Structure 1
Amino acid sequence: MDETYDVIVLGTGLTECILSGLFSAHGKKVLHLDRNSFYGGETASLNLTNLYKMFYPNVDPPAHLGANRDWNVDLVPKFTMANGKLVKIILHTETVANNLEWKCVDGSFVMQVSAGGFFSKAKAKVHKVPATDVEALKSDLMGLLEKRRCKKFFKFVQDYDPTKPATHKGMDLKRQPFRDLITAFGLEENTVDFICHAVALYTSDACIQAPCHEVMMKIRLYMDSIGLYGNSPFLYPVYGIGGIAEGFSRLSAIYGGTYMLNKNIDEILFNEDGKVVGIRSGEEIARAPVILCDPSYALSLGKVRPAGRVIRAICILNHDIPDTDHMPSGQVIIPQRQTGRRNDIFVSYVSSSHCVCAERYFIAICSTTVETDTPENELQPGFALLGEIMTSFVKVYDTYEPIEDGSRDNLFISRSYDATSHFETACEDVLSLYERIMGESLNLETTLKPFTQAS
C-alpha cells in the first residue's frame, strides 16, 4: 500500500478488471483493490455458499443441489456478442484469450402475444429467432408476405454502406428516424418488435426515433455475429462471466499489477487543486495521480447521479425452459409492447453445458428496468415462462453514472451495468475510459503478445 502507482483501481467488476489488465499490459504500474473477498463485483460468478451468504445469510444451501464446485452463478445476466467489442478486446489480449473457454449460447427467443379470435383467447407464445434461412422459412413469427418484406429489409441492411448513397434507398439514413425506414418497407408491428428488441437488442421502443444508421449498425452486429462461431450470435464463457474478470486480473498481475481483496477504502484523497493524489485504508496510504473506480466508491463524494434501477431474479430450476426446444442455454426477450411496459424483460438461462450448475439443473435470470414501486411484480411475465421455480434470489440494484468525465480531478468513474442482455454498452464505457485515462484510443487491430520475462 505505502507506494506510489500510476493508476489505482477500486472495485473488481468486469469494467475495472478489463482496464486494470490493459493499463498494466501497456506499461502502467497498477494497484487494484476491492472491499469484497471475491473478484467480479456485480459481475461475479458465485458458488452456492457465497450465493446464499449474499441473499440468505442465515440459510445453508440445500444438500440436494450438490457441491460448491458445480456452481458458478452469475449476478449479472449478460451474454457476449460473437462479433462484439468484448470479444475484440479479449482477442487484443492474447494471454486472456488463451485462458478462456467459450461455448455458443444455443438459442435466442422472443415472446409475442397473439390476438384472440372468435374461438380463441389472446395467448403469449415464445418463438425462436431464426438463425438460418431454413429456420426463417419455417418460423411462425410472421406470415408469408411479411417474411418477404422482412427478407428485403435485412438484405437492405446487409448491403448498406454509409459511404455509398446508392445503398441508402434515397433516404438520409444518418438523420431520418428509424420509423421512416419501417414505413418504407411496410413492416408490421410485431415484426418491428422482433427487429428492434430481438435483433437490434434495444430495451425499449425509443429506438424507433433514433437515426436509421444507428439502429442498422446494431442489426448488422447481430447479423455479423450469427455463424461466426456457431448458429447463435451469443457466446458465454465456460464457468461463468466471473472468469472474464479473473482473466484480466491475471493479465494485470502478470505485468506487475498488485491486487488486494478484503480491503476497505476509507477515503479518496485530493490535493488543494481538487485532483486525486491517492487513497487511504486505515493508516495506510497509496498514492497515484489517477484513480478509476466503480460508482459505489464515489457515492459519498457526490460524484455520481442516479440512472435508474434494475431488478434481477436468479432462479434455480430442475427442468428446462418450456417452449425452447429443450435447448440447454438461451435467451428469451419479452418486448415492452407485448406486456404494456416501457422496458423489455430479459430471461437468460444456462445449464451444466456451460459448467455453471450441477447436472439436471438450470439457472435462469429474469431482469428488467424498474418502473413501479413493486419491482418483483414487474418480472411476472418472465416468471410465467419458466414454469416451477425451486429457489429464487431477487435483488433491486440502483444504477449510477458519473457526473463528470474525470478530466478535471483525475477521478474516473465507470457506469453501473444496465438492463441490456449483452456487454456492448459496458465495453463502450471501457473504451471511453481507456481513451480518457491513457490519452489515446485502444487499437483493437493489434494483439498484445504474451508476457515474457526479460533475461
Structure 2
Amino acid sequence: MFARGSLVELLISSNIARYAEFRSVSRVVTWLPDDDGSGKGHLEPVPCSRADVFATQNVSVTEKRMLMKLLSACMDRENHPEELQEFENKTFLEFLRAKKLTPNIIHYVLYAICMGTDSTTFDEGLVRTHRFLYSLGRYGNTPFLWPMYGSGELPQCFCRLCAVFGGVYHLKRSAEAIVVGEDSLCKGVVSAGKRLDAENLVLGMEYAPPKYLASAPKGGLSRGIFVIDRCVF
C-alpha cells in the first residue's frame, strides 16, 4: 500500500487501522541485467530518497543529477504544465528518452519508480511517479506499507468495524442469484432459497455479470515465489 494512498487514508479516517498492525517496507529492489550479455542479472536497491540517490554506487554522478532533476520536474508538474504538453499523446518511455536519460536511469524510473511498461502513457507515468514520490518519508524510507499478518487482515478489519455498527455476517453461505430491479440496481440476493434484501452488494469481479463490468477499472496482479540460497543484498 502506498503510504499516502487512498486505502491508507481510508484506514486512518475510519479508525480501522487500530484493528491491524503495519510495517514500512524497508527496501525496494529492481532486477538489473548484467553487462556481459549473458542474460543473467542481479537485484539492486532502488534509490528512493535524496540520500539514497547520492549514496548509491550503481548510478554515476552525472546520472544522479539527471535523476534528481527529473524527479523534481515530476513533483512540480502542475506549476509548469507548458513544459510537458508536447508529450501528452506519447508514452512515458518517449518522454524519458527525450530527456536524454541513460538506459540505467530509464530502468530505475520506468520499471521501479513508475512501475510501468514500455507502453505506459505519459500521463499515467507522471501520475504513478508522483504517487511514488509523494508517499516517501511518511512512515519510512520507502513509500510502501504492508500488513504484518497479510493483506487478508484488511477485510477482517472492515468486518469488525461493521459489526460494531450492527452488521451481521453469515459465513459459509453463498449467493445463488442477484435480484436486480427495473432501474438496473441491485435489490438483494437469493441464498438458500430465500431472498435477502440489500441496498448495496459487494462482490468480486469474477462473480459479477459481464454487463456490469464494462465500466470496471482494468488492472492486473503479478505474483512470484522465489527460492533463494542467500540474502538478496
User: Structure 1, residues 280-329: CA drift from partner, whole Å, max 9, x if none?
Assistant: 11232211344332223335x76548x798664556x6x776333xxxxx
1:106 offset after TM fit, Å?
A: 1.3
1:323 has 2:232 as partner: yes
Match of 1:221 in 2: 131
Shift of 1:227: 1.4
Q: Do the aligned residues in 2 keep the contact of 1:127 with 1:140 (CA within 8 Å)?
A: no
CA distance in 2, matches of 1:149, 1:125: 23
Gapped regions of structure 1 (runs ≥ 5) = 1-79, 325-455
- CA shift for structure 1 position 240: 1.6
Deviation at 1:275, TM superposition (A): 4.6
Match of 1:251 in 2: 161
1:175 is aligned to 88
Partner of 2:111: 197
Shift of 1:254: 1.1
Q: Distance in 1 between matches of 2:162 and 2:128?
A: 31
1:98: how far off?
Answer: 2.2
Q: Report what 1:206 is aligned to.
A: 119
Q: How far off its partner does 1:87 sit?
A: 0.7
Asked if the contact 2:95/2:122 (under 8 Å) is kept, the reply is no
1:19-418 equivalence runs, <5 A: 80-94=1-15, 96-116=16-36, 121=38, 123-160=40-77, 162=78, 164=79, 167-168=80-81, 170-172=83-85, 175-177=88-90, 178-202=92-116, 204-207=117-120, 210-212=121-123, 214-271=124-181, 275-298=185-208, 303-304=212-213, 312-314=223-225, 322-324=231-233
Task: State the match for 1:11 in structure 2.
Answer: none
Amino acid in structure 2 at the alignment position of 1:242: G
Identity over aligned pairs, percent: 24
Instruction: Supply the distance in 1 between the matched residues of 2:97 and 2:207 (Cα, whole angstroms).
Output: 47
Q: How many angstroms apart in 2 are the aligned matches of 1:157 and 1:312? A: 29
TM-score normalized by the length of structure 1: 0.45
Q: State the one-letter code of the partner of 1:205.
A: D
For the residue of structure 2 that corresponds to 1:278, the secondary structure is strand
* SS of aligned partner of 1:258: coil
Residue aligning to 1:343: none
Counterpart-to-counterpart distance in 1, 2:219 and 2:147 = 28
Distance in 2 between residues matched to 1:263 and 1:200, nearest whole Å: 41
> Residue 258 of structure 1: CA displacement?
1.6
Q: 2:24·2:140 contact (CA, 8 Å) conserved in 1?
A: yes
| Inter-CA distance 174–290: structure 2 relative to 1 (3 Å threshold) | farther
CA pair 176-297 structure 1, distance change in 2 beyond 3 A: closer
Secondary structure of the corresponding residue to residue 249 of structure 1: helix
In the TM superposition, residue 255 of structure 1 has moved relative to its aligned partner by 1.3
Alpha-carbon separation, structure 2, partners of 1:267 and 1:112:
49
* Residue 275 to residue 81, structure 1, CA distance change in 2 (3 Å): closer
Task: Confirm or deny: 8 A CA contact 1:173 1:211 kept in the other structure.
Answer: no
* Cα root mean square deviation, aligned: 3.0
Taking the aligned partners of 2:98 and 2:118, their CA distance within structure 1 comes to: 18
Partner Cα distance (2:83, 2:221) in 1 = 40
Higher share of residues assigned helix: 2
Structure 1 247/173 Cα, relative in aligned 2: closer, same or farther at 3 Å?
A: farther
Query: Does structure 2 retain, via aligned residues, the 8 Å contact 1:130–1:139?
Result: yes
- Residue aligning to 1:327: none
Using a 3 Å threshold, how does the CA distance of structure 1 residues 147 and 274 change in structure 2: closer, same or farther?
closer
The answer (yes or no) to whether the contact 1:269–1:278 under 8 Å persists in 2 is yes
Give CA-to-partner distance per residue, 1:146-172, whole Å, 9 cap, x none: 222222212222333x2x3xx346331
Q: Which runs of 5+ in 2 are unaligned?
A: none
Letter in 1 for 2:64: K
Q: CA deviation at 1:274?
A: 5.2
In structure 2, C-alpha distance between the alignment counterparts of 1:313 and 1:123, rounded to whole Å:
18
Q: Where does residue 404 of structure 1 map in the other structure?
A: none
8 Å CA contact retained: 1:175, 1:211: yes
What is the one-letter code of the residue matched to 2:231? Answer: P
Report the equivalent of 1:424: none
Runs of 4+ in 1 over 6 A off after TM superposition: none
